[in-house]
Structure 1
């Protein structure tokens, strides 16, 4: 049985111009120990889909699904209090902008220990020791000193490592990584991806990797969901997707990779040239 199952998820925002459907009938599942990548251009509904799972969308959003379960429990029917016991503990998320996601008014140590107090019942020195262990696990030097630092005193890569430490602090069963290497230089990107995959393997976590970087997909994923205009276009195991993509949008994404360029310029993806009918063959 899948750890997380989503069937026919729709997310609609109320705007001044009228309802805007950001996610339109997306279905996906991820099992324990599996890495699922969700790919697509900006605005395709990748992050919104996962924020709906986390219950972190604003009040202007209406979330509906035929089925949204985690460990067999219906997430959407849970009370806010019951959902809070799962979110941050069994399901954790690494957000796109680490510096913006950390509270600038509190130290790194306070923010790490807050999750440990809330979900693990740790207090005082026990929480501090665990916070130090977490910073050591994600490769931050001088972890005891760093606990007293504020986010602005750390680099973007270090803040991303702190976010990862917070996400894994309660040993989640599912980790959602939303563009975890955005705005980081290539060397730090590699370090962060290696760290995530090591932690995923050590803890046998399920992971959902949200990205538009097909190189990251090839390096990390077991299966891939391709989203376009809020809809799932195609789903396949990672080897099948790269070797024999079925949907025109998937083919266009892969043709835009630098390694696939045939001339001086990379091919562009024309919105008018893409068939947005989902592929419904095997594996979709």
Structure 2
């Protein structure tokens, strides 16, 4: 049985010009211990799909699906209070823009201890001990001291590590990483990816990696879903996707990588995709 299984997911937002369908008929599943990458250019509905599964979209969004099951539990039939017991504990997410995702009014220590208090019911001493252990696990130096710092007192890479510590605090069964290396320099990107893969292996978590970086996909994923304009264009194991992509859009994504440039000018995805469709 899949850890997370979604069939025919659709997400619609109301706009000033009428309804806009951001996700249209996406299906996916991920097993325990598996790494699934969801790849596509910005605006392809990757993050919205996962926020819908987490129940974190605004109430104005219309979310429908034929099936949305996590760890044998029907997410579609859950009340908001029932889902809150799962989100952040069994199913967790590392959000884009770590500095924007952390509350600037509270120390990072308070924010990680709040998760431990709500989901595990730990007392103050146990929460602090666990928070220090988590900061050590994600490679934050001087963890006891860092607990008292505010997000603005930490670098982007350190804030990303705080977000990872919060996300894994309760040893989730499924971790969703939304562009976990965005805006980080290359050295820090490698450290963050290595950290995520180590934690995924140690805890046998299901991991969904949302990215537009095909290098990250090649390095981390077991299977890949390619999305374009809210639709799933292709799904394959990672080797098959790179060696023999089936959809024109996937071929366009790969052809637009700098290392695949054949002329003086790198073509855009739109140019390649348009040409393939003609």
- Fold shared, TM-score > 0.5 on shorter chain: yes
> Could you tell which deviates more after superposition, 147-156 or 253-262?
253-262
Shift of 1:267: 1.7
Separation of aligned partners in 2, 1:266 and 1:105: 44
Separation of aligned partners in 2, 1:235 and 1:225: 4
Task: Tell me what 1:281 maps to.
Answer: none
Shift of 1:264: 2.0
Where structure 1 has 5 or more consecutive residues not aligned to the other structure, the ranges are: 277-284
Separation of aligned partners in 2, 1:257 and 1:275: 17
- After TM superposition, which residue ranges in structure 1, 4 or more long, deviate above 2 angstroms? none
Task: Tell me what 1:78 maps to.
Answer: 78
Task: Tell me what 2:274 maps to.
Answer: 273
Task: Tell me what 2:56 maps to.
Answer: 56
Shift of 1:270: 1.8
Q: Deviations over 1:155-210 (max 9, x none)?
A: 00000000000000000000000000000001100000000000000000000000
Task: Tell me what 1:231 maps to.
Answer: 231
User: Secondary structure of 1:270's match?
Assistant: helix
The answer to which structure has the higher helix fraction is 2
Task: Tell me what 1:68 maps to.
Answer: 68
Separation of aligned partners in 2, 1:59 and 1:83: 14
User: Secondary structure of 2:188's match?
Assistant: helix
Task: Tell me what 1:94 maps to.
Answer: 94
Shift of 1:263: 1.5
TM-score of the superposition, structure 1-length normalised?
0.96
Shift of 1:274: 6.9
User: Secondary structure of 2:269's match?
Assistant: coil
Matched, 1:218 2:218: yes
User: Secondary structure of 1:88's match?
Assistant: coil
Separation of aligned partners in 1, 2:22 and 2:39: 15
Separation of aligned partners in 2, 1:14 and 1:24: 15
Q: Determine if contact 1:248/1:274 at 8 Å carries over to the other structure.
A: no
Task: Tell me what 1:193 maps to.
Answer: 193
Q: Determine if contact 1:44/1:230 at 8 Å carries over to the other structure.
A: yes
TM-score of the superposition, structure 2-length normalised?
0.98
Task: Tell me what 1:32 maps to.
Answer: 32
Separation of aligned partners in 2, 1:45 and 1:80: 23
Separation of aligned partners in 1, 2:103 and 2:134: 18
Task: Tell me what 1:138 maps to.
Answer: 138
Task: Tell me what 2:259 maps to.
Answer: 259
Structure 1 residues 274 and 111, CA gap change in structure 2 (3 angstroms): farther
Q: Deviations over 1:137-156 (max 9, x none)?
A: 00000000000000000000
- For these two proteins, the number of residue pairs brought into alignment is 276
Task: Tell me what 1:164 maps to.
Answer: 164
